[in-house]
Structures are given as structure tokens and as C-alpha cells.
A = this chain, B = another copy of it.
Amino acid sequence: MGEVKHLCLVKFKEEVLVDDILQGMTKLVSEMDMVKSFEWGKDVLNQEMLTQGFTHVFSLTFASSEDLTSYMSHERHQEFAGTFMAAIDKVVVVDFPIIVAKPAPPAAPAAA
């Protein structure tokens, strides 16, 4: 099946220190070997009609669905999930095998 993504769209509660959550998440995934990579971002266009109020995206990539399952059921993830869920106003989570319909072009070769 190949790589799998665990994607969360989040609207945080107003009083939450988002930087603290981000630091906690970055620390967690850096220490969890089954997480292949982790990207996040904050919406910049602020078009409420399109974002539905969601402001942050968290995208975890796993080499396999087994690694995703291993992460989701890990004690440390579940601990963090409690902190995370307490900090959010709303969330959407989707988990999906990645279909690369247009691959990124190869990086430019090193100068000769």
C-alpha cells in the first residue's frame, strides 16, 4: 500500500498557547521512529468561507499503515492526544494512502 498520511485540520481554543502544542508535537514525533516525517502549517489566506474556521494543518507521514497503527496505539501518542484534544475547538482527521498524481520534479543536479 505504500506511504500513509495522518492529516489533522484544527481550530484551537482562543486561550490556547499554540506554540506550546507545536513544541510538544514536534518533540513527540521526533522521538517516535515510526513517524517518517512531519509537516505543519498555518493558513495564510484567512478565507473563512473556505477554511470553516480551521487554522492549522498537521500532516504525519508513515512508511506503512502498520506504522500508523503503531503510532496511534502508542502510549505516548495517546497521552499527547489528551492534551491536544483539550486544546482544540474543532478538528477533522483523515488517514489515507498517498496517491502521487503529479510527482515533484527531481531536484536540480549539483553543479558540475
User: What is A's interface to B at a CB cutoff of 8 Å?
Assistant: 4-5, 7, 9, 22, 25-26, 29-30, 35-45, 47, 50-52, 54-55, 57, 61, 65, 91-105
Contact = CB atoms under 8 A, between A and B. Distances in A.
A38 B98 CA distance: 10
B91 A50 contact: yes
B43 A94 contact: yes
A26 B99 CA distance: 11
Nearest to A36: B104
Contacts of A30: 101-102
Contacts of A104: 36-37, 61
Question: Which of A7, A36, A105 has the most CB atoms of chain B within a 10 A radius of its CB?
Answer: A7
